[in-house]
Each structure stands twice: as C-alpha cells, then as structure tokens.
Amino acid sequence: MTATTERAVGQPIGRIEGPDKVRGAARYAAEFQVGDDLAYAWVVQSPVARGTLRTVVVDPLVEPDDVLAVLWHGNAPRLGPADDPELAVLQSDRISYRGQAVALVVARTLEAARRAAASLQLEIDEEPHDCLLRVDHPSAYEPEKVNPGFPASSALGDVDAALAGAPVTVDVTYSTPALHNSPMEPHATTALWVNDDLVLYDSNQHPPGVAAAVGALFDLPADRVHVITEHVGGGFGSKGTARPNAVLAAMAAKVTGRPVRLALPRQALFSMVGHRTPTIQRVRLGASADGRLTAIDHKAWGQSSRLFEFAEQTAVTTRHMYAAPNRRTGHRLVRLDMPTPRWMRAPGEAPGMVALECAMDELAVALEIDPIELRVRNEPAVEPESGVPFSSRHYLECLRRGAERFGWHDRDSRPRQRREGDWWIGTGVAGATYPAMVQPSTARASRLPSGDYEVSIAATDLGTGARTILTQIAADALEVPVAQVRVRIGDSTLPMASVAGGSSGSASWGWAVTGACRALRSSSASSATFDSSELVAQQEKDGKHAFGAHFAEVRVDAVTGEVRVTRLFGMYAAGRILNPRTARSQFRGGMIMGMGMALHEESVLDPAMGAWVNHDFAEYHIPAHADLESVEAEWLDEQDDQLNPMGSKGIGEIGIVGSPAAILNAVWHATGVRIRDLPARLDKILPYL
Amino acid sequence: MDLVVNGTEHSVELDPRTTLLDALRDHLGLTGAKKGCDHGQCGACTVLLDGRRVNSCLILTVTLSESEITTIEGVDHPVQEKFLEHDGFQCGYCTPGQICSAVGMLDEAAKGWPSAVGDPELTDAEIRERMSGNLCRCGAYPNMVPAIREAAGR
Amino acid sequence: MKTFTYRTADDVSGGLEPGATFLAGGTNLVDLMKLGVATPDVLVDVTRLGLDQIGDLPGGGLRIGAGVRNSDLAADHRVRRDYPVLSQALLAGASGQLRNMATTAGNLLQRTRCRYFMDATMPCNKHAPGSGCPAREGDHRNLAILGASPSCVATHPSDMAVALAALDAEVRISGPAGERTVPVTELHRLPGDAPERDTVLEHGELITAVDLPPLDLAARSAYRKVRDRASYAFAVGSVAAALQVTDGTVRDVRLAFGAVAHKPWRAHRAEEALRGRPATRESFRAAADAELAAAEPLRDNAFKVTLIRNLVGSVLEGLS
C-alpha cells in the first residue's frame, strides 16, 4: 500500500479536463459522431400564447429530397404518462404558451430541417391570453408547497401588532423580472436507438434523472436508456431535469430509424427550457429605536405556467436570516399563459434576498445605523422559525472580516457624497446564504490492473469542477495520490448520483465516493460500492446553511445614469473548501451573474403579444468582459462536522445571493436613488441625477 | 468546394446555406468551434480567417475561396497554457472561442490597432474591451484577463 | 433559411435581377436570413470587386471603399488623425470579430434591431408591410423619439453612420441608371408610411464608396455611446460631434445623434443654435433642446431626451 500521502482535498488542483477544453477536444452533446446517416431536427414553436393547434400543413415542394419526417400531435407517437407535462411533447392540441414546441421537422441536413420548419403552416384557433403577473391578479392563490417542498407560509407571533407598535418601520415592494439561465451551450441531444434501447448524448445536470424520465415516456426501464453527458456547457438549473429536446430527439430517431441531433437555437432557450419567475415582493420590517427587529413580514408573488405548477420559494430564506419575535412569510402564485419557470441559480434565495437585503439597507438608513451593525444586532442564536441550532453560522464574521478587507470603516453613511468627475461613487453591503444540502447517491470504487483506482458515479461536471474535486476526495479516502485515481462521471449507467443542483453535488457525490473508497481500502475485493441513502436520511436537515457577505463599490455616471461596478467582493463561510482554485471561480461566477441580475438582465414581456421579446444574446444582456473590473472572493476556514465526511457546504449558488442587493444598495449610496424594480438600468436612474 | 483548415485541404460538398461553423462542426468533424447563439452575439464560434478573428456562424462557406482557416484544433499558443494556469474557464463551452479571439486580438494589438478604451498599452481595461465579443456565462472573465495579459508577455 | 443562388459580382455597375441582393460581410444579412426576415433568391457577392481601399481625394478628404472592413477603417491612421469621431464610432460598435467582417456599406445598410422586426413570427410593418407595429404599445424603450411615424418607430442601429452624418460624408452609388452621389444624411429615409424601405437606394444600386470631404474641425471630434452594458451592445443613445471654438465662441460645429430615429440624426437645428454662441455647457444644452423640441417620445423612452441633451453637453464640453 502507498504510504500516507499529503491530503489532496483543499489543494488548488487544476481541472482534470482542462487540457481538453483549451484544445477544443472536450465533446458536448451535439458533437458526438454517431454514424453516417445522422439526421437533424428543428423544432417548430407556437407563435401564439394560447389556443388550439388544428392542423399542420406541409408544403411538399419545400426541401422535398431531404425532409424525413414532420411530427406534430396529429401524427407523433404516443408517449407514456409524464410527471412533467412539459415532456409530453406533441401529444396534445393545446397551446399553453408562445414558444411551446408544436411540431418537429427531421431532415437529412440542418439547413433543410430549418427551412422546412419555417415553411410549415400552422392552423391555430387562437384564444385571448393572460401573461402579466400582478399582485391583484384575481386568480392569485397560495400553493400547497414551494420548491422543493417547503410550506408556502409560516408565521410566529403577531406581526401586525408588532408593526403597528414599532417606532421604525420599512414597508417596501421590490420586483425582479423574469430571467433566463442562458448557459453558453444551448440544450442539445443526439439520440439513437440501438436494438430497442435508447442512447442519448444529452446536455443535462442529471443523467440518471433524464434516463428515468425519458424512459418512462417510451415505456423503457431506466437501465435501457443510456444517457451520456461527458461535458456540459453550463446549466445553472435549466438542465436540472430532462427537457423537451431529449424527448423530441428520441421520438424523431424512433420515427426515422436514424440517429437524430436536436440542438435548440438560442432563441428557444427563452421559452422551452425554463426561466426564473418574475417576482413581486412586499417586505415589511418593524424595529425598535436601537435597531432590534420586532417584526419581519415577507410576501412574494410569482408565476407559473398552465402546464405545471412550479412555485419558487422566494421568501423562504427570510425564515432563517434574522432574529425577530414576530415573523411571517408567504407566497402567492398566478398561473399564466406563459412558459414554465424552473430552477435558475439559487431559486428563491437570489430574488428573495434582493428584497430582504435591500429592505434591511432601507431600515438601516431609517434608523441611522450602519447596515453591518444592524445585522449584528439581529443575529439569531438558533434558526428562528425551526428552533434548530445552526450546525455552523459565521455570518457576522463574514461581515466583519469582509468589511476589513473591503475597506468599509471610513464610509460616510449618507448618500450622494462622493463625486469624482462625472461619476457618483458609493458602496453597499448585503448578506448571503444558501442551504447546505445533501442528497442520496451511490458510488463504486475499483482497483485497476495497473494498480490505479477507478471511481464511478453518474454525476456531471457543468464547469463546477466536480470531476476534479471527486478525484481529490477519492484520493484522500483511498490514501493515494490523485494521479492514481480515475474518476468516471457523465453516464447514466454508472452508480446513481443525485442532480447537480442545489449546490449539493460535491457533498452528495463526495459522501458516496468517500464511502466506496473507504470500503474498498478496508477490503481485498476488486471493487466496492457505497450508497449514502441511509446516512443521508438520518441527518437533521434544518440549521445547515452557508453564509457570506457581499460588498460592492459602484460608480454612476451623472451624465448618462450608467452604472459600473468597480469592486465586488465576497467573503464566505461555506464549510471546508475542497479546491480553492475551482471554488474561487465558482464564487466569482455567481457574483458576476448577480451583477447581471442587478444591472442588465431582464426578459422583457410584451403582454399583448404574450412573449418575451428580447430572446437572444444581443438583447438579453449578460455581463461581458468589459463589465468586470475587480471581482474577488475569499472565505473563512469553517469547520463543521455535522455535514458530511468532507465537512463541505455547497458553493455554486451563494455568490448570486445578496450580490445584487449589495450593488443596488451601493447605487443608492452613490446617488440617493433607490431602485426597487430590477434591473438598475440607466433610464430608471437618469431622471433623478 | 475546397477548404483549407489548419493547414489541411478538405474537399466538401455543401449546401450554399451552410455556414462555416456548421461546415466545421458537421462536415469536417472539427467541433472545437462552438455554437452558442448562431447570430454573432456570443463569440463561441470564433475562428481565425487568414489570421483575423471572425464569427464563423455568420460566414457562408460558399463565399470562402483561397482562405486559410484556423480553428482551436489548429491553435498552439501560450494563451492556452495560461488559461489552464489561471483557471480561465469553467464549463469550457466558450473557451475555444475565447482562445481564438485572444490569439487574433493579441495580433491586432501588436499591429497598433486601437480599441474604444484608447490606452496606448495593452492594459487590463484594453484586454477586457477587446475581448468583449466573447461572452462567458460562468463568469470566468476575471481569470481570463491575467491569462491573456501574461500570454501577451506582460 | 430559404435556398438561394450564389454568384460573385463581375463589376461595380450594380444591377440585380428581382429577388437578388448584394452580400458583403454578411454580419447582418446572414443573421436576418437565418431568422427568415431576409429571404433573397440570389446572393451576389461583392467582396471581390476591389472596393476595399481607402484613398486620398484630390482636394483633400478620403474615399473609403464600400468593402473596407470596419476594423481596418477604425485603425487607419488618416481616419484617426483627421476624423477621430469616425474611428471612435466604429470601435464603439459590435465586437472585434464583427468589425473584422463588417464593411462600410454593410454597416450603413444594416437594418433596425427593433425586437419585433427581428422576429419573423411577430407583426411588423417593416418586415411584413401592413401587419402592424406592436412596438408602439409594446416594447419600445430603445426605439425612436424623432421622426417616427404611426407605422414604425424603429431606430437605425449603426454607430459609424452617426459619425459619417456629422462629417458631411457622401455616398457614391452605382446602378443600372448610372452613378450618383447622395449625402449620407439623405441615404436613410424616415419611415413614413413605407417603413419597409430603409434607404433611398433603388433595387440593383450598389454603394461603391463613401467620400469624406476635408473638414478641419473634424480633427477635434468625438463619439460617445451609451448602452446597457459596458461593451458589445447596441446604443441606447449616442452623439457624434466636431467643434471649433475661438475665444470662447463656437465658430463651427457638427452634431449627430444615434439610436433616436430611423436614420442617423444630423442635428442641424442644434448646430444653427450654437454657431456664434459662447462655448458653455448651458449653450450646448440649449442647442440640444432646440433639436429635441421636435421629439415625440413614447411611453418608455422619454429618458432619451434627457440622455441626448446631457450627452451633447458633455461631449461638446470635452471638445471645447
């Protein structure tokens, strides 16, 4: 056996697949060569928001030599029952939103498929639609649960009485627009049938989940659907479950008897694959004159589609963030003739903490207390609603250490005080939090004839660094150098892994990998398998969260209202950091997406057309190189032995939680302009400069 | 038609509608150039055409004759090593375009071409502006800038 | 994308069969063909006509070939020295890659980025005459405040064209009826009741060059663009300006606005209001107001009036 090795976990090891990625050798779902008879599919989307598709008329003169099939509900194969109605593609004449897949053209070439798709005549009985979320919508209702299973409401004490009696109150409404995940790799599937078994090269965050979901539709057990997901060009939640592209490609391959590739066009990502619901949030805070919260009330409105109830947990974070004896959270949902919202990086936390952390800033101003000090005065001893102690909570340390590193102390708390040339300059702070979740997974560790080890788990690496981190975890559990470990992921036939979501990948998969490697080391067998399900089930779920603090410095052009973020800084307490190199990248990536949320990103609704009209990268503005000046992330060395064998908390999402609020609070500090409807575009600021 | 890609001549039969990006990916098996938007709005498809960086998704292949195309598969440049050193990517999907773009950009800067920033030296602000035609949703920008700066020899 | 026949142009005489269109850099045309917004039957490639030179005009000034790539034009030392506003405008547009592809004439002839125009499934009087204009009641934050019509509120997206409008550039056109020259300010139309026509070009007419007349004050000129992110985005508003000040008084001025109208907007009224006035921020803004008095903003784009007024003040102050 190898002598004791230096621990790999905690080392800044470079990404294992990095050399492939910089040479263009890493393969994504639409890039696998699967035979000479590959056909291409192009999806036809509904041009109306609500109605009935009567028929599809095909012009036989368009691409007559190359079109292989035109599928729609009138001729598509019948699918088995779908848990997710969005996957029941081409099964019904109902049109539930603009952009819904209503037909599919399969052709010998991509050009022919696209052209034929554009030429189809859709005969639609259009109906009046309802696409605009508003708080007084007559059909607003309280859902039973909010994602992923929280009660929709919570209450402690008498909020109304406490607010009425509070010497200082804040009553504000914040709204956030619909946002789109927009991974750089559009959703894509290459599908082929091999002897009645289905093979899918698919871009997703959960190969076993995709195998099960697609298998059910085609009446196949999950083990007869082979999902290969070698590399994923980002997902950010939008690839968390199977999407219509996987089902459509499989259907087209079945009908044509050929391998079929369906890569969604960028524009389709703005309707067919999910988005972050727009929110409207009312936050009311009551405080004593010395800045102790007496009441917190957070009510959030969101939307879902006619097809499927997805209720985002917008106000749930407020349940554990600050102490207050009287507290209430609630959610209302409106079902509209719009696409189904889904997970987008920190669903719930990201928009919810905009409202809470901006409201806290407004309260600090009303109280004339430093916003960090206000948070210090309202630090809870235990989770305020569940009463469960925190497994670890170093929120105040993040605020204090972050303040030191950022240079907060000589800040003039008054707004509109610093001017350099045409620029107003200001700083802002906001808290960050994200639950430390873990889900059951299974891994297998094997000895290879070479003396090296192979570790297998059906996980995916969306750019998170999972492949690298699992290698480090396995090396330590096996007590061998990382060079002796090969990690296999990205394949549904490997031992079952949980979804790459909820910032739970490393914790969940790492637990299973640790178990399998330890079992292998303590036995002479050639391989060992470990399933974490029982241990995970026994765990206390409440009280486990990562925390952090975000600081922003902005400058706002007095001539134009343009906002630039000159410095963005995050200080985190997220358990043990498994790989500082990939962790720093993830933290910073989350903060940058938070900057997009604060300043640029907005899916613009035309309620009359029932459509988001800016459905491409020219008009939906994600941050570009030039938007970034200084973005830095640091963390505390946090020990927490109640989490998992690695002592880690997830880090993929916390960067987007609170960073938008820090930027908005800085915009207020720079200009005195309080932006309560995101994003903070120049046209909203300019009139007040 | 004949296409010279990474120094190798290829004979392909193409629909006049086939873009250079689709020709590379679907006909020549060179999948390094990525399709992120297909409309010149993201830069993932960037290749070098006679040494100049271009969006291959907006070029009809039929218009190319006597042109030399370099894709990421044909690039061997210090910027690649620097991307590894600085963790200049996460998901990797924009990476080939970022690297091809950086290679073309460094050449433009060396020729004295100006940018909207207007600094005489290739400062970080210059790098950011000149690289803005390559989007990265993972937000690896802060790692790419030092990688490109060092590849430029600064 | 519809099928088409591809051929290369033999000479600069222009002339096109019905359904044919010229192709150069392709950055806008190929984009619109993929979207089904442009549906040519024939593409005539004009990139091999030798129109890619920048030459000196006999009496001073420059002749810019229609096929000169935007990046080459922006980098040209004569342009940077004598017409900095033009180099700045080019560099403010698009990306390094797109500037390497896009040509002078193609930049002038690029079509609006109105979100309804860019979506073939939407009504739009520009891509489907008579189908209506949803932008007027819908999304128009980045659309026109000047010169719009009930049938169209689109803006012209070019940065370069705004600089050319300020520089009194002339467009050389070759066509079946011979050659003609049109001031760049008269190349683009206002939408009126025929918004499907962007320019005064007749079918088959080919832009061969853009002439920049000698203009001493252009040596002190600048372009300022405002957009929703720091780079790689179309303008929300822009100003091109050239200014000559003697003893604190404006001797001469050129001003043009971008992203406010169906064409690059030459601000003649503002120029008239400024000549002979003191070179102060107050008179700059007053001149802008003289031009913007005609503005008819929509529900969500009134901010552009303030934005342009502020930009005029700021840019001219920077030049004085």
Q: Which two three-digit tokens encode residue A38?
A: 């590959």
- Closest residue, chain A, to B83 (C-alpha): A22
**A588 plus A443 within the same structural domain:** no
The alpha carbon of residue B39 is apart from the nearest alpha carbon of chain C, in Å, by: 6
pLDDT tier at A222 (50, 70, 90 boundaries)? Answer: confident
Contact A565, A629 (CB under 8 A): yes
Which residue of B94, B103, B132 is the best one to mutate when testing the C interface, meaning the one whose CB has the most C CBs within 10 A?
Answer: B132
Q: Render pLDDT for A627-681 as a digit per residue (tens, 0 to 9).
A: 999 999 999 999 999 999 999 999 999 999 999 999 999 999 999 999 999 999 9
C315 and A CB contact within 8 Å:
no
Cα distances (Å, whole numbers) of residue C73 to C65, C176, C206: 10, 28, 20
Say if A341 falls within a structural domain: no
- pLDDT on residue B65: 84
User: Which CATH number do you get for residue B142?
Assistant: 1.10.150.120
Averaged pLDDT, A95-113:
98
Q: Rounded mean pLDDT of C135-159?
A: 98
pLDDT at C194: 98
Q: How far is C244 from chain B (nearest CA, A)?
A: 23
Q: Tell which residue, A409, A335, A418, A337, has the closest CA to residue A372.
A: A409
pLDDT given at position A6:
67
- Determine, for residues A682 and C306 on separate chains, whether the beta-carbon distance falls below 8 Å: no
C228/A47 CB distance under 8 A: no
The verdict on B35 and B94 lying in the same domain is no
Count of the separate structural domains present in chain A: 3
Residues A488 and A553 in one domain: no
Nearest to C95 among B49, B63, B132 (CB): B132
CB contact under 8 A, B29 and A33: yes
Q: Percentage of residues in chain C with pLDDT exceeding 70?
A: 100
The sheet carrying A527-531 orders its strands as A485-488, A453-456, A442-447, A527-531
Same domain flag for A97 and A245: yes
User: Does one domain contain both A602 and A476?
Assistant: no
pLDDT at A2: 43
Q: In Å, how far is A161's CA from the nearest CA of chain C?
A: 40
Count of H helices and E strands in chain B? 5, 5
Rounded to a whole number of angstroms, the distance from the CA of C45 to the nearest CA of chain B is 7
User: Which residues on chain C are in Cβ contact (under 8 Å) with A111?
Assistant: 1
Judgement on whether residues A533 and A659 belong to the same structural domain of the protein: no
Q: CB–CB of C97 and B111 under 8 A?
A: no
> What are the tens digits of pLDDT across the range A138-187?
999 999 999 999 999 999 999 999 999 999 999 999 999 999 999 999 99
Clarify whether residues A191 and A67 are in a common domain: yes
Considering only CB atoms, which chain B residues are within 8 Å of A625? 127-129, 131-132, 134, 136, 141, 144-145
B66 lies in the same domain as B31:
yes
The C-alpha angle A163, A164, A168, rounded to 5 degrees, equals 60
Same domain, yes or no, for A529 and A675?
no
Minimal Cβ distance to A618: which of C113, C138, C231: C113
Is the same domain home to A569 and A673? yes
pLDDT of A565 > 50? The answer is: yes
Please indicate, yes or no, whether residues B96 and B65 belong to a single structural domain of this protein.
no
E strands, A368-407, in order: none
Q: Assess A77–C contact: CB distance below 8 Å, yes or no.
A: no
Q: Which residues contact C139 (CB under 8 A, 6 or more apart)?
A: A604, A606, A613, A614, C115, C116, C300
Residue B120 and residue B90 in one domain: yes
Q: Is A653 a catalytic residue?
A: yes
What is the mean pLDDT of the segment spanning B80-93? 98
- Give the domain range for residue A519: 18-27+439-538
Residue C236 in contact with partner chain A when CB distance is under 8 A:
yes
The answer on A467 and A421 residing in a single domain is: no
B30, B93, B128 ranked by CB distance to A234: nearest: B93
Of B59, B62, B101, the CB nearest to C96: B101
Give A25's Cβ-side CA count (13 Å radius): 10
Domain count, chain B: 2
Residue A179 touches chain B, beta carbons under 8 Å: no
**B149 near A CB under 8 A:** no
B48 in the same domain as B16: yes
| C237-256 confidence digits (pLDDT tens) | 999 999 999 999 999 999 99
Please, what is the angle between helix A349-367 and helix A659-671, to 10°?
A: 30
CB distance C27–B58 less than 8 Å?
yes
pLDDT in tens, A115-133: 999 999 999 999 999 999 9
Q: Which of A185, A362, A553, A653 does the annotation list as catalytic?
A: A653
Comparing CB atoms, the residue among C116, C120, C310 nearest residue A613 is C116
Chains in contact with C, where contact means 3 or more Cβ–Cβ distances below 8 Å, are A, B
* ipTM for this model: 0.98
Are A66 and A141 contacting, i.e. CB atoms less than 8 angstroms apart?
no
Reported as half-sphere exposure (CB side, CA atoms, 13 A), residue A168 has a value of: 18
* A284 inside domain: no
Cβ atoms of A200 and A189 within 8 Å: the answer is: yes
The mean pLDDT value for A296-306 works out to 98
Residues B103 and B137 in one domain: yes
pLDDT of residue A385: 95
Contact B36 A184 (CB under 8 A): yes
The single-letter code of the amino acid at C141 is R
Look at residue B40 and tell me whether its pLDDT is greater than 80.
Answer: yes
pLDDT digits (tens, 9 = 90+) for A83-93: 999 999 999 99
Q: Is pLDDT of A5 > 60?
A: no
Q: Please tell me which residue of chain C has the smallest CA distance to A608.
A: C138
Distance from B149 to chain A by nearest Cα, in Å?
Answer: 14
The verdict on A381 touching C (C-beta cutoff 8 Å) is no
Q: With 0-12 CB in 10 A as exposed, 13-18 as middle and 19+ as buried, what is A214?
A: buried
Q: Is A633 exposed, middle or buried (0-12, 13-18, 19+ CB in 10 A)?
A: buried
The pLDDT-based confidence of A361 (bands split at 50, 70, 90) is: very high
Contact B84 A18 (CB under 8 A): yes
Contacts of A586 in chain B (CB under 8 A): 90
Q: Does A629 touch chain C (CB under 8 A)?
A: no
* Residue A238 within a domain: yes
CB < 8 Å to B130, chain C: 96
In terms of domains, do A530 and A577 share one?
Answer: no
- Cβ-Cβ contacts under 8 Å, B71 against chain A: 24
C41: closest CA of chain A, how far (Å): 14
Other beta carbons less than 10 A from residue C55's beta carbon: 13
pLDDT(C102) > 60? yes
Minimum-distance CB partner of B72 among A24, A231, A591: A24
Q: Are strands C5-8 and C42-45 parallel, antiparallel or unpaired?
A: parallel
Which homologous superfamily does the CATH classification assign to the domain defined by C216-319? CO dehydrogenase flavoprotein, C-terminal domain (3.30.390.50)
Which B positions 33-72 lie with beta carbon below 8 A of chain C?
38-40, 43, 46, 49, 52-55, 58-60, 62-63
pLDDT value of residue A397: 98
A597 lies in a domain? yes
For B50, the domain range is 2-73
Question: Do A565 and A665 lie in a common domain?
Answer: yes
Q: Are residues B93 and B60 in the same domain?
A: no
Domain assignment present for residue A366? The answer is no
| Contact at CB, A22 and B127, closer than 8 angstroms | no
- Would you call A624 and C303 a contact, using CB atoms and an 8 Å cutoff? no
Residue A3 has pLDDT above 80, yes or no: no
Considering only CB atoms, which chain A residues are within 8 Å of C307?
560-561, 682-683, 686
pLDDT at C50 > cutoff 90: yes
Residues B87 and B65 in one domain: no
Q: Does C220 touch chain A (CB under 8 A)?
A: no
Taking CA–CA distances from C118, the nearest residue in chain B reads B39
- C134 contacts chain A (CB < 8 A): yes
Mutate to test the interface with A, among C27, C229, C260, C300 (most CBs of A within 10 A): C229
Which residues 512-551 on chain A approach chain B with CB closer than 8 angstroms?
Answer: none
Last residue of a domain, one of A237, A270, A303: A270
Please tell me which of the candidates C3, C232, C307 has its beta carbon nearest to residue A560: C307
Residue A1 pLDDT: 39
A625 in contact with C, Cβ within 8 Å: yes
Instruction: Indicate which CATH number applies to the domain containing B19.
Output: 3.10.20.30
Helix axes B78-86 and B95-110, enclosed angle (nearest 10): 130
Q: Which residues of B touch C45 (CB under 8 A)?
A: 63
Whether residues B112 and B94 share a domain: the answer is: yes
C→B interface, C-beta within 8 Å: 1, 3-6, 23, 26-27, 30-31, 34-35, 43, 45, 47, 71, 74-75, 80, 87-88, 91-92, 94-98, 100-101, 230-232
Chains that touch B (3 or more CB pairs under 8 A): A, C
pLDDT score for A561: 98
Q: Give percent above pLDDT 70 in chain A.
A: 99
On the question of pLDDT at A4 being above 60, the answer is no
Measure CA A43 to chain center.
25
Tell me, yes or no, whether B68 and B12 share the same domain. yes
